[in-house]
Chains A and B, each alone.
Chain A
Amino acid sequence: MNKPTRVPHLFRRPEQLAPADVPMETAYQLEQFLYAEAELLDAWQFNDWLALMAPDVHYWAPVRENRLAREAEQEMYPPGTAAHFDENFKMLGQRVARLYTHMSWSESPASRTRHLISNVRAHVTDNPDEFRVQSSFHVYRTSSERHQDSVIGRRYDLLRRADNDYGFQIADRTVVFDMSMLLVKNLSSFY
């Protein structure tokens, strides 16, 4: 784990920096999907949220570190190493189920969250039904009497057209938190 394989830094991959190239209507649909997803999370409709995940979903959030400038490309741990989330559909299902046990004390009483989604940019892929969609998030949370915190970052999604109310499923999501040491007490939500 000490020698991460040299992969281009997630933030600097050319295909992600390229101008958005989906038609305006598709862009609108993708954005609306992300807003709907956020609303389900803030409304504690986690089973409905889970239904937006494709059966083959991979939901992953790498750990980041302070590195020397010349080692900056390695500031994010590569796949298969240090991560905050590294989940398939079944694993996400366990996390959702936990929230409904009424004994998940970190969320019982429930915290109040607001998922703010912005800077949405989308690209076409070789598959006409799949789109690479990047979005930034700010998850504001208060819990208990006076705890409050914010988790901010960017997501790299593969969204797939699907026959459901919201038109898409999440086939792949990488969540990048804009923190090295996490300055929050836990990551008890979804991002």
Chain B
Amino acid sequence: MDISEFIDPEKGLIRGEIFHNKEIYDQELEQVFARSWCFLAHDSMIPDSGDFIQNYIGEDPVLVVRQKDGSVKAFLNQCRHRGMRICRAERGNTSNFMCSFHGWNYGLDGEVIHIPHEKEIYDNLDPEVFRATQVRLANYKGFIFGTWDETVADFEEYMGDFAWYFDAYIDRFEGGMEVVGVHKWVLPANWKFNAEQPASDMYHGEVSHASAFQVMMPISEEDGAPPPWVMQQLGVLSEPAGFQFSAPNGHGTGWFKGGMPLMDETIMNWHQSTREEVSERLGEERFDLAGHANIFPNFMMLSNYTFRVTHPRGPDEMEIWAWSMAPKNASAEVKDAIRLDILRTFSPAGMFEQDDAVNWEEEQRIMRGHMARQKPLIYQQMIGQARYDADGLPGKTVDHVYAEEAARGMYQHYADLMSGKPWPELEKIKKAREQKERDEIAARASPAPKTAAGGGQ
């Protein structure tokens, strides 16, 4: 199905059809999820030989397993015999996986190692054919991503300039990150809402999350007023300034100048105390450079160390799998403060998260309407304002934290993939598109004569 009529990234217009249509959804499983790098696990989730977790690429369950030699392998959690789920636990430790239908037994690497009555009933068994379907893996600083696609670029190249921004979330500290909590839940809404929002929509916070900001703001016991450090945080919110970054492969991130507001004093004090260490590691300019982000298609993160995949479950349902992480070398007190902060803000019972759910639920419900899917929705914030490699920020950014550049970029990439064009061709198209945009920006900036093509307004 040609979806290009629903998406016009240049004008910032997108029709609700892409959130509603079942045919489009099925096409996404094939063209988006099966052709992208998807987050599967973090090293700390499977530290020991035989440790495994199950995750998904789209609707396909994948077992991610620590091997005896310390490496990681991943394979489709589907028995080659009749397609039963090989392992029905979501996490654990094992020496092998036995399919509980007819008893085929798979090793930690997905090779079939035992088939009941094999000698009598199979002529000659080709291990290639019987092996569970393997996933191509990449490990970026402890974060394990997988793809079925042999033609998509290596993960670091796939991230492109976003890697520099990603590091501001995950590579702030020596020793890396570890998992301190997990939540999984179901929302009656399209997966793209929870990809687009962390990539691009900081704008909703002050209204959608007004109640949470109001009640979580610490006040001093004496005069009931917020202490100075809180006032400083609120200042960030009342005069929002910051940036948004958009990658050609659909990744996006945004952050406030001066950092995301923090409402927990333990975390605030710790965060400030790490300024020197983080600046030394990443450069001063990246200390405050975390807010929210999404690695296309569905791995989102927040500066509070929430990391999630949003699994598609039909056009009108998503599963959110969210891990709370903390710097491994932080004190026990700080780790626990981070764990509590996330469960009280961005978990299904979290005071921020509850209110996001209701937005997406209502959006989805309304998309059932005919008229609701006719007029395009407006994604035009900061349109035409993009710059490249400006303000010391690699790649394409806009100079405001409230912007929709990253949403436009995400849907451009989404449309590219949905066109079904092979990756090598898409890469050429993206390069040409970027060059054209760079030229236009340069032409606008240079004091050329009025007749210059592509001149300013």
Contacts and interface: CB of A to CB of B under 8 A. Distances in A.
Interface of A: 1-2, 61, 63, 65-68, 71, 77, 80-87, 91, 94-95, 97-98, 101, 103-107, 144-145, 147, 180-188
B316 interface: no
B187 interface: yes
Contacts of B339: 80-81, 86
A188 B339 CA distance: 19
Contact of B216 (A1, A84, A94, A105): A94
Contact of A65 (B46, B91, B348): B91
B184 A67 contact: no
A66 B336 CA distance: 24
B88 A66 contact: yes
A104 B354 contact: yes
Contact of A84 (B91, B180, B183, B361): B183
A185 B365 CA distance: 14
A98 B185 contact: no
B343 interface: yes
Contacts of B362: 144
A37 B89 CA distance: 37
B211 A185 contact: no
Contacts of B51: 2
B113 interface: no
A182 B92 contact: no
Which of A86, A106, A147, A183 has most B Cβ within 10 Å?
A106
A98 B215 contact: yes
Given A77-B182, A87-B344, A94-B216, 15 more contacts: A66-B89, A80-B339, A82-B343, A83-B181, A83-B343, A86-B340, A86-B344, A97-B214, A106-B358, A181-B184, A184-B185, A184-B348, A185-B185, A186-B357, A186-B358
Contacts of A91: 344
Contacts of B355: 104-106
B173 to A, nearest CB: 18
A71 B184 contact: no
A94 B215 contact: yes
Contacts of A63: 181-183
A69 B93 CA distance: 12
Of A77, A84, A91, which is in contact with the most chain B CB atoms at under 10 Å from its CB? A84
B343 A103 contact: no
Interface of B: 44-47, 51, 88-94, 178-188, 208, 210-212, 214-216, 319, 324, 336, 339-340, 343-344, 347-349, 351, 353-355, 357-359, 361-362, 365
A152 to B, nearest CB: 15
A70 B274 CA distance: 42
Nearest 7 A-B pairs (CB), nearest first? A106-B354, A187-B349, A182-B185, A101-B211, A104-B211, A181-B184, A103-B211
B377 to A, nearest CB: 20
Contact of B186 (A61, A83, A97, A183): A183
A65 B53 CA distance: 11
Counting chain B CB atoms within 10 Å of each CB, the highest count among A101, A103, A144 belongs to: A103
A188 B340 CA distance: 17
Chain B CB within 10 Å — which of A97, A101, A183, A185 has the most? Answer: A185
A7 to B, nearest CB: 17
A116 to B, nearest CB: 20
A112 to B, nearest CB: 15
Contacts of A87: 344
Given A144-B361, A185-B188, A188-B354, A98 B211 contact: yes
B314 to A, nearest CB: 14
Contacts of B359: 105
Nearest to A69: B89
Contact of A67 (B92, B183, B357, B365): B92
Contacts of A145: 365
Contacts of B187: 185
B186 A105 contact: no
A42 to B, nearest CB: 18
Nearest to B214: A101
Contacts of A144: 358, 361-362, 365
A66 B358 CA distance: 28
Contacts of A105: 208, 211, 355, 358-359
Contacts of B185: 181-186
A186 B350 CA distance: 8
Contacts of B210: 101, 103
A80 B336 contact: yes
A1 B358 CA distance: 31
Nearest to A87: B344
